[in-house]
Structure 1
């Protein structure tokens, strides 16, 4: 009987202690109930990006596309040297699933052409920021560095954002085929429809930049850059040409068309 009384007393003491803990918490009980919900919210991480890997960049550009961008390749007589020129030179990288690139440089009888293709797969390490949003931030940084942030905040007409319209009326400085040519203007600057601008036909967002080096006794080098983002991958294409003839300037429209054609093919290859 004494043992039974002891057990009953112990149970009563434990019940009293438990009641005291729960009762003494007061408003704290509601706070404790909220904690599981907060933890669930924090655990709901932002969505990952669409891409987990990147294509091999040197093999991502076809021979026919390289022939158009780098005409000097077809002028290389030695087959081994020509094959090496097609292969390009891969950029040094320590993680081919995160950042890759390839470079080509080919001289011809008329000019020296350079091409670079860089692909970066962006991953966010912040659970509240998605991979896409992190990639969008990287794209906007590049766009701002190109001086196009203000332009992207406006709503340009189709001819300003996507290049010349077929119905555009040629100006006196236009070339005979009705398209504006940088080499036709005294400064070598691209015409109004070929100025640096945002593009609406590539990936989720894109822009084109066109810069001409100082002209004078030597030939002026033109650099056309196309950058576009598809989900969490940012692709940067840089196409450069420097003519052999002193005082010459590469044609803006021709270079832009070639760079945009390559960008469209890479966009298709990514499956956007």
Structure 2
């Protein structure tokens, strides 16, 4: 009886692979010409829809705000600091981060006899790892989560005022609608404001440093709200804290521009618990800086 020819298993696998490859090549062009099952086209469409964001890197955060803006947001108590101290205050302190192309931040603070003001800046570049979701869309999802977490009313919805309720309002604090005449306007006998900054001739701020963009709505509302005209989307939150640790008002502005989300927090702590930090001034300054940052990022 003649012996059967022996074909090794590896050779069988190679033969089968070559056969499958030839079959695929012979039928591939016809399938592509008729559109096939659409999988290739779907992958291409997904790749085209998931566009990368505008920003591939991030700027140095401590150098973004103008020095005049920082001097206005971090007023002193009328005492001129030394050049070294002033430079240290304005230079800020960069956050520690391990990927400066994905997230950066900076912090500033100034203490006075009347209290302390803090300013923090956080900038995040969002990258989508989903082929079907663009960087911008992913950034919008994260921004929306922040807006919901802050419980910001939707545009046009009525919101409660962030100011203190009547029971929390100090008796010496002027109430909305009261005339300034005969009321304590927050000035002490030295002609200084409650936060320690001088009312006239302060070396920390000049008339040119005054924010040009008002934070309040046209109707004068200071409540937490969606902000129009700030990046692609933005909101402002205002919280007054009167816990035992101290009295402070925290203003937070968050906005998105393409695939970058900027979070700005500005707060004022008061050593005198009978004097509540005012919303109007803090909101105006925070909103003005946010507009400055949005313009800088868009350049």
TM-score of the superposed pair, with normalisation by structure 1: 0.72
Distance in 2, matches of 1:73 and 1:101, equals 27
Are residues 127 and 242 of structure 1, via their aligned partners in 2, closer, same or farther at CA, if it must alter by over 3 Å?
A: same
Aligned residue number for residue 253 of structure 1: 280
- SS of match in other structure, 1:77: coil
Are residues 231 and 108 of structure 1, via their aligned partners in 2, closer, same or farther at CA, if it must alter by over 3 Å?
A: same
Stretches of structure 1 that go unaligned for 5 or more consecutive residues are 1-16, 161-171, 178-182, 184-189
Distance in 1, matches of 2:37 and 2:239, equals 61
Give how far 1:43 is off.
4.1
The within-5 A match list for 1:177-216 is: 193-214=221-242
Give how far 1:73 is off.
8.7
Distance in 2, matches of 1:31 and 1:231, equals 35
- Greater length-normalized contact order (CA 8 Å, ≥ 6 residues apart): 2
Distance in 1, matches of 2:233 and 2:36, equals 45
**CA displacement, residues 60-107 of structure 1 (integer Å, 9 cap, x when unaligned):** 111111111100297452221221111111001111111000001111
Aligned counterpart for 1:55 among listed residues 52, 59, 72: 59
Are residues 173 and 133 of structure 1, via their aligned partners in 2, closer, same or farther at CA, if it must alter by over 3 Å?
A: same
Aligned residue number for residue 227 of structure 1: 254
- SS of match in other structure, 1:118: strand
**CA displacement, residues 141-172 of structure 1 (integer Å, 9 cap, x when unaligned):** 11111111xx22x5348x99xxxxxxxxxxx7
Are residues 240 and 36 of structure 1, via their aligned partners in 2, closer, same or farther at CA, if it must alter by over 3 Å?
A: closer
C-alpha contact 2:125 2:259 (8 A) present in aligned 1 = yes
The within-5 A match list for 1:155-166 is: 155-156=156-157
Give how far 1:124 is off.
0.5
Give how far 1:132 is off.
0.6
C-alpha contact 2:225 2:237 (8 A) present in aligned 1 = yes
Aligned residue number for residue 102 of structure 1: 106
- SS of match in other structure, 2:221: helix
Aligned residue number for residue 41 of structure 2: 37
Aligned residue number for residue 82 of structure 2: 78
Aligned residue number for residue 128 of structure 1: 132
More helix by share: 1
Aligned residue number for residue 7 of structure 1: none
Are residues 194 and 127 of structure 1, via their aligned partners in 2, closer, same or farther at CA, if it must alter by over 3 Å?
A: same
Are residues 54 and 257 of structure 1, via their aligned partners in 2, closer, same or farther at CA, if it must alter by over 3 Å?
A: same
Are residues 147 and 36 of structure 1, via their aligned partners in 2, closer, same or farther at CA, if it must alter by over 3 Å?
A: closer
Give how far 1:215 is off.
6.1
Distance in 1, matches of 2:247 and 2:266, equals 14
What is the root-mean-square deviation in Å for CA atoms of aligned residues? 3.3
- SS of match in other structure, 2:61: coil
Distance in 2, matches of 1:97 and 1:75, equals 39
